[in-house]
Amino acid sequence: MSTDEWCTPKWLAEALGYFDMDVASNAQSHIVSGYTCSLDQSGTLGDGLIAEWRGSVFCNPPYSNPLPWALRLRDHNGPWCALVKLDPSTRWHAALMEADPTVAPFRKRLKFEGEKSMTANFPSVLIYSAWRPPAALRPHLWLPSMTRAA
């Protein structure tokens, strides 16, 4: 199973709360959102890279090619949150950093869902802008000690 097929764990989706859009969703997604986009056009708004993004956005991008998703997130004017692997050596990570986001690594490796549950062999991180993790999520993250203005 490729990392493109890994789903955000149910406990994490519940802790994240509601988003206006889940822009890289799939049929197994637990993310609660008003609209979904997907890689296979099955989402309510079709392909997440083509659809107009509005409101708060959640993105667990395909790990095989996160760069186009990172560029869209960087340029999104509303609040956004991305679940990605911690890899600051990449172009997509540099693109996200151009938005001056908050980076919050998880305290433990995530067990992703899909055909089989798979524990990531890499650290995962939430990178977000103009969004704040709900209280239920904070104990699972290494959060910055200084709060940034939204």
Output the domain CATH number for residue 79: 3.40.50
Q: Which residues contact 49 (CB under 8 A, 6 or more apart)?
A: 68, 69, 72
Report the domain count for the chain.
1
Domain presence at residue 14: yes
* Confidence at 7, pLDDT banded by 50, 70, 90: confident
- Dump pLDDT digits (tens) for 93-108: 999 999 999 999 999 9
Let me know if residue 148 belongs to a domain: no
> Can you state the percent helix, strand and coil of the chain, rounding each to 5?
20, 30, 55
What pLDDT, in 10s, does the model give residues 41-70? 666 677 899 999 999 999 999 988 999 999
Range of the structural domain that residue 134 is part of = 3-140
Tokens for 43, please give them: 């989402």
Residue 145 forms part of a structural domain: no
Within-domain flag for 89: yes
Residue 149 counted as domain residue: no
Tokens of 121: 């062999």
At 21-34, the pLDDT tens digits run: 999 998 889 999 99
Rounded Cα gap, residues 98 and 55, in angstroms: 20
CB 84 within 8 A of CB 128: no
Give residue 42's pLDDT.
66
